[in-house]
Amino acid sequence: MRAYWVYFSRSGWRGPLMLGLIWLAGMFAPLGAKTFVVDLPNSVAIPWMIVWAVIGYVFAPYGMWKALRKK
C-alpha cells in the first residue's frame, strides 16, 4: 500500500483515478452487455472478467514502476 500512496502523491490523483475507472468499466463490461444489449453466455462473460482481472494484476506494478523510474 505504501507504493500506491507514493505513486498517487507524486503523479496526482486524476490519472490513476481515470485508469481505475477504465479498469472497473472493463471488468464489468459483460454484466452491462448482458443487462442492456445482448444476452452473453456465461462461457464468454466469466473468462472475460477473469482475464481482465489478471491483466490488471500483471500490469499495475509495471505501470507504477515505469512512472517512478522516470522521476
pTM: 0.58
Task: Provide the grid cell at 41.
Answer: 453466455
Can you give the pLDDT of all 71 residues of the chain as single tens digits?
677 677 677 767 777 778 788 888 888 888 888 888 888 888 888 898 899 888 888 777 666 666 667 66
Q: From CA 62, how far away is CA 40, in angstroms rounded?
A: 32
- Structural domain boundaries in the chain: 2-70
3-class DSSP state of 53: helix
